[in-house]
Amino acid sequence: MQGGSRVTVRRRDFDAALFDLDGVLTETARLHAAAWKVVFDAFLRSWADRHGETFRAFDDVADYLAYVDGRPRDDGIRCFLRSRGISLPEGRDEGSTEPDSVRALGERKARYFRENLQAGIKPSPGAEALLQSLRRASIKTAVASSSKNCAAILHASGLDQHIDASADGLDVERLRLPGKPDPALFMEAARRVGAQPDRAILFEDALAGVEAGRRGGFGRVVAVNRGGQAEALLERGADIVIQGLLDVDVENG
């Protein structure tokens, strides 16, 4: 199937609809990418100076989508740094100010993101109307997000009142769930709304998330083409690629 298609969600086919958050239900992916760029560029510039290397900036589109998007925070840091041939220690507990560790980079990114979050969050076009339509059709809705800020983002966007359940980065840490592309987080979200994976439709925009949906055996994996990567999303296992949630219809039958 090609990008630009429409999707129809029918009650007879699905008991639940699962959504990634950033870049699918809310327009927060750009805030994450911008925060990562500030943190990674400062680190990479310092690293280059200390090791006599040429500074190469973090690309907040290509690098973000390839290595960070959809992954738990620390996994994304490791994945990106590995692409540059850099390995850092894990670091001490949260709140540490040590300059060069996975934990320290993650903490700095979280602070930048929380500061930007205060400016307000907009739902993605069509998100609120879609969630309302799903509820009218008696299709449960759940969010599965690697973000530890999931609850705050949902509340800031006003979408929390339309969601039946969520599983997020805090649950990943508490339950020791492996991150995407492992399907564990999606499986937990489906469990919380009482749906079997093959009776749930999944909406994702990240390559790792699409792969997780395919591995989990979800009834349909719908990819939202936020970064101009339709072909890659299909290769990772998406059944169909759409441009946004305005391309989704709901039928109660």
**Could you tell me the pLDDT band of residue 253, with boundaries at 50, 70 and 90?**
confident
Q: What is the chain's mean pLDDT, rounded? A: 91
Please name the residue ranges forming H helices in 84-202. 102-117, 127-136, 150-157, 169-175, 184-192
Mean pLDDT lowest among 79-83, 87-91, 206-210, 225-229? 225-229
In this structure, which amino acid lies at residue 66? A
Task: Answer whether 73's CB lies under 8 Å from 149's CB.
Answer: no
Q: What is the pTM of this model?
A: 0.76
Q: What 8-state DSSP symbol labels residue 178?
A: P
201 strand-pairing partners:
17, 220
Average pLDDT of the segment spanning 189-212: 96
22 is catalytic: yes
Is the pLDDT assigned to residue 60 strictly greater than 70?
Answer: yes
Is the pLDDT assigned to residue 4 strictly greater than 70?
Answer: no
Q: How many helices (H) and strands (E) does the chain have?
A: 10, 8
Among residues 15, 22, 60, 69, the one annotated as catalytic is: 22
20 is catalytic: yes
CATH for 7-28+122-251 (3.40.50.1000, 1.20.810.10, 3.30.1280.10, 3.90.1170.50): 3.40.50.1000
Average pLDDT of the segment spanning 131-159: 94
Cα–Cα distance measured from residue 191 to residue 174, given in angstroms and rounded to the nearest whole number? 16
Write the pLDDT tens digit of every residue in 151-193.
989 998 999 999 999 999 999 999 999 988 999 999 999 999 9
Please name the residue ranges forming H helices in the chain. 29-51, 62-63, 73-83, 102-117, 127-136, 150-157, 169-175, 184-192, 207-215, 230-236
| pLDDT value at residue 116 | 76
Neighbours of 7 (CB within 10 A): 18
Average pLDDT of the segment spanning 208-214: 95
| pLDDT value at residue 94 | 54
Task: Answer whether 21's CB lies under 8 Å from 162's CB.
Answer: no
Write the pLDDT tens digit of every residue in 7-48.
999 999 999 999 999 889 998 878 888 899 999 999 999 999
| pLDDT value at residue 68 | 92
So where are the chain's domains? Answer: 7-28+122-251, 30-117
CA atoms within 13 A on the CB side of 127: 27
Is the pLDDT assigned to residue 3 strictly greater than 70?
Answer: no
Residue with tokens 């969050």: 121
Is the pLDDT assigned to residue 120 strictly greater than 90?
Answer: no
Instruction: Tell me the torsion sign for CA atoms 90, 110, 238, 219.
Output: positive
Cα–Cα distance measured from residue 171 to residue 9, given in angstroms and rounded to the nearest whole number? 28
**Could you tell me the pLDDT band of residue 57, with boundaries at 50, 70 and 90?**
very high
Both tokens of 91, joined, read 């670091």
Among residues 20, 69, 168, 171, the one annotated as catalytic is: 20
Assess whether the previous peptide bond of 181 is cis (omega < 30° from 0). yes
Both tokens of 152, joined, read 């705050």
CA atoms within 13 A on the CB side of 45: 7
**Could you tell me the pLDDT band of residue 210, with boundaries at 50, 70 and 90?**
very high
Write the pLDDT tens digit of every residue in 72-88.
889 999 999 999 999 99
